[in-house]
Amino acid sequence: MLNHRWDYEDSLLYQQERQAQAEKVRLAKLASQNRRQQSRFAWVQQVWRQLSRWRLTFRTQNRQLPAKHKQAYN
2 within some domain:
yes
Separation between Cα atoms, residue 55 and residue 69, nearest integer Å? 28
> Could you report the per-residue pLDDT of 6-58, keeping only the tens digit for each?
677 788 888 999 999 999 999 999 999 888 877 778 888 889 999 988 887 77
pTM of the model: 0.40
3 has pLDDT over 80 = no
pLDDT value of residue 64: 62
Separation between Cα atoms, residue 70 and residue 74, nearest integer Å? 7
8 within some domain:
yes
Residue 70: helix, strand or coil by DSSP? helix
Residue scoring higher pLDDT (61 or 9): 9
The alpha carbon of residue 52 and the mean position of all alpha carbons in its chain are separated, in whole angstroms, by: 20
22 within some domain:
yes
Count structural domains, the chain: 1
16 within some domain:
yes
4 within some domain:
yes
Domain of 1, in residue numbers? 1-35
pLDDT value of residue 69: 59
